């Protein structure tokens, strides 16, 4: 048996020490996980066509994004021709989209041409590995100051119950992101100094009834549910896509801490023959979002080519 000397022991301890330090340094130099990126597009259709998106979006590089979130009115007559959905699939890859249907997707043409090609139902909630994503169909709402018609009542109630269920059960998510088309809670969007309501969406309906019940006004019934979630420590972010005519982008936080975002493009419209309701001809932007380690951040990025 070989004799172990004091020198051997010291050498061994030094070797172990440096091995451990090397491991710590390697762990410290481990590259941080890349943020997950998402792209939100509102009102992206090309003016003067029924079945095309803005040409800049045809040439856009979607590869860096985990998913494309569509805020509705993707084409001017999305459901008129079944081939339109083939075209949109070639642009966006519909399987990697979340689509909040707009009125141009819902009301013009054959609705089934659109619904049969969607990767998900018209309204739904999914877990996105860290945050909860809800996609609404605001076409089911009644945007007039009159008694809601007794139609599509089961769908309207199911969508409302979905929202209630999320508000009751959400716990592991850091954020609740809600995609929609028409304006939500526009009566809450006021000038910071307490002035008039901000009219930023293409249409800001008030009141807005969400079911067949005449007591189902949107802000009175839905907003308290969102506030309840916020009070439990979950950030709530609503993102609307009926944008681009009166404003290209919008960012507002209510006194209760709910984020209201909006983004839409519109500059394929002819300025010479633009309708009177188109008032914003500023540069078009798209909304980019990042999610990383429980943080959700966003920025309005110039689309270019204006």
What pLDDT score does 193 carry? 63
- Average pLDDT rounded to a whole number, residues 271-276: 90
Q: pLDDT digit string (tens) for 241-250? A: 999 999 999 9
- d(CA 122, CA 85) in angstroms, rounded, equals 15
Q: pLDDT digit string (tens) for 70-90? A: 999 999 999 999 999 999 999
User: Exposure of 190 by Cβ count < 10 A (0-12 exposed, 13-18 middle, 19+ buried)?
Assistant: middle
Q: pLDDT digit string (tens) for 130-140? A: 999 999 999 99
Q: pLDDT digit string (tens) for 24-66? A: 344 444 456 899 999 999 999 999 999 999 999 999 999 999 9
The fold for domain 35-302 equals Purple Acid Phosphatase; chain A, domain 2 (3.60.21)
Residues 6+ apart with CB under 8 A from 171: 232
């Amino acid at each position: 048996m070989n004799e172990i000397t004091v020198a051997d022991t010291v050498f061994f301890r030094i070797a172990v020490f440096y091995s451990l330090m090397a491991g710590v340094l390697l762990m410290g130099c481990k590259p941080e996980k890349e943020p997950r990126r998402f792209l939100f597009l509102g009102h992206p259709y090309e003016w003067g066509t029924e079945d095309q998106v803005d040409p800049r979006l045809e040439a856009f590089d979607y590869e860096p994004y985990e998913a494309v979130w569509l805020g509705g009115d993707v084409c001017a007559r999305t459901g008129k021709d079944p081939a339109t959905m083939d075209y949109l699939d070639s642009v966006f890859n519909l399987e990697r989209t979340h689509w909040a249907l707009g009125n141009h997707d819902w009301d013009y043409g054959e609705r089934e041409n659109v619904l049969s090609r969607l990767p998900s139902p018209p309204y739904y909630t999914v877990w996105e590995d860290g945050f909860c994503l809800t996609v609404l169909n605001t076409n089911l709402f009644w945007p007039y100051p009159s008694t809601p018609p007794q139609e599509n009542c089961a769908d309207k109630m199911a969508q409302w119950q979905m929202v209630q269920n999320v508000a009751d059960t959400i716990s592991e998510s850091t954020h609740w992101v809600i995609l929609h088309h028409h304006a939500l809670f526009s009566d809450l969007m006021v000038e910071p100094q307490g002035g008039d309501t901000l009219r930023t969406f293409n249409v800001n309906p008030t009141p807005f009834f969400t079911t067949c019940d005449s007591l189902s006004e949107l802000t009175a019934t839905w907003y308290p549910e969102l506030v309840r979630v916020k009070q439990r420590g979950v950030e709530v972010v609503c993102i609307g896509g009926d944008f681009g005519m009166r404003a290209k982008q919008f960012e507002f936080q209510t006194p209760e801490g709910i984020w209201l975002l909006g983004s839409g493009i519109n500059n394929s419209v002819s300025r010479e023959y633009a309708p009177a309701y188109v008032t914003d001809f500023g540069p078009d932007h798209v909304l980019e979002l990042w999610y990383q380690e429980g943080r959700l951040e966003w920025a309005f990025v110039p689309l270019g080519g204006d």
